[in-house]
Homo-oligomer: A and B are copies of this chain.
Amino acid sequence: MLTFDPVIEAFQGYCDSDPTYCAQLAVHVNGKRVLDLNQGMEVDSLLPVFSSSKGASAVVIALLVQREQLDLDAAVASYWPEFAQQGKGAITVRQLLSHQAGLPGVDGGFTPEELLAHDPLAERLAAQRPFWYPGSGVEYHAVTLGTLADELVRRVDGRKLADVLHEDVTSPRGIDIWMGTPESEDHRVLEALPPTGEEFMAFLANPPAGIDLGTGGDRLSSLSMPSGGLIDLFTRVNDVKFRRVGPPAAGMTASARGLAALYACLRHEVGGQARLLSDETIGQVSQIQVSSTDISGGLQVRFGVMFQIPCTPRWPFGTFRAFGHDGAGGSLAFCDPTQEVAFGYTVQRLPLPGGMDARAVELTRLVRESL
């Protein structure tokens, strides 16, 4: 008989040791929710989940691959002819969606308004020369990946990525994630919070190795953020205009319940609906597409088709078969077929240095040991 006591005890420990801790944890095993914890907010509160949005976008991509609307080996330009500009004619869908196309940004930078309007940024990306020769390297396309995936979906399906997600995945199953949060749900939305000043000063005084605190525009990596940079984006996710649109890279709000249900529905019945994806499809999109240090040379990354793939020192969640995504604000959600686990975690205040909360990683380990 299974017991998740060690997981519950660890979560309780976090609550006890940090009075400001506000978080949700939901875990499904074999399609059934077995854990549903919350602290400092309601169990159905919604938080901006930053790049955990990319996991939901990846589910839409997987669905279109399964429906044979999208071929991972096809040239992007076969669906989106304007994309062929500036030496991009041969870039494949799988390269594009695994951060290898050299398009983390555009010359001169882009504005949050261009991002929210979609078409202006998509057009600029189509006209952009890749910052590295396509296929020669990988670097996280923190924001543009959503726009690129969205444009692909619009070209092959006619609908926006967010609409496919809502109509074909979340709405029929009652999954509580919102790529484009409607006014009706605003009352449940909490603000993402920055670290306290104390936490930030302690972090600056003793930054972990490999973390680049620079904010200047000298680096290639600076291209990936809209004008205003990461700190501006952090404020912006709390803006109602931002969440109303919900850019597919980073604009979703969700509860941990919603995130876990999203990954549970891939392989199991949820809300009375048949499982969404076949083993074949999951095999295709969770296959490692690239595993390397990034082109800036600092960070180890491993991507499937839009999904993060774990078992790296940097992303130590799940077994080698798992796939999912974290968010800058600390959230983490994934599916691990090895033990038929679906995991969702949100946290209100960004844990430095950002990205998956170390507490969430520890909880994934305890879940794995409980099974």
Is A137 positioned at the interface, with any CB of B under 8 Å from its CB?
yes
**Within 8 Å CB of A283, what residues of B?**
86, 129
- Which size bracket describes the interface of A in this complex? 35 or more
| Contact assessment for B287 and A295 in the assembled complex, using a CB-CB cutoff below 8 Å | no
Is A278 positioned at the interface, with any CB of B under 8 Å from its CB?
no
Closest residue of B by beta carbon distance from A131: B288
Oligomer copy total: 3
Residue of A132, A218, A290, A320 with most partner-chain B CB within 10 A: A218
Binds B, one of A141-149, A269-277, A311-319: A311-319
| Contact assessment for B297 and A133 in the assembled complex, using a CB-CB cutoff below 8 Å | no
| Contact assessment for B300 and A297 in the assembled complex, using a CB-CB cutoff below 8 Å | yes
Is A219 positioned at the interface, with any CB of B under 8 Å from its CB?
yes
Q: A297-B291, A312-B297, A313-B297 are in contact. Are A94 and B133 (CB under 8 A)?
A: yes
| Contact assessment for B313 and A133 in the assembled complex, using a CB-CB cutoff below 8 Å | no
Residue of A222, A223, A320 with most partner-chain B CB within 10 A: A320
Not counting A94-B133, A129-B287, A222-B320, a sample of 11 additional A-B residue pairs whose C-beta atoms are within 8 angstroms of each other reads A131-B288, A136-B289, A136-B290, A136-B291, A218-B311, A218-B319, A219-B320, A220-B311, A223-B320, A288-B295, A291-B295
28 A-B pairs in the complex with CB atoms less than 8 angstroms apart: A86-B283, A102-B288, A129-B283, A129-B284, A131-B287, A132-B289, A133-B287, A136-B288, A136-B289, A136-B290, A136-B291, A137-B292, A217-B319, A217-B338, A218-B311, A218-B318, A218-B319, A219-B311, A219-B319, A219-B320, A220-B311, A222-B320, A288-B295, A291-B295, A296-B311, A296-B312, A297-B300, A297-B313
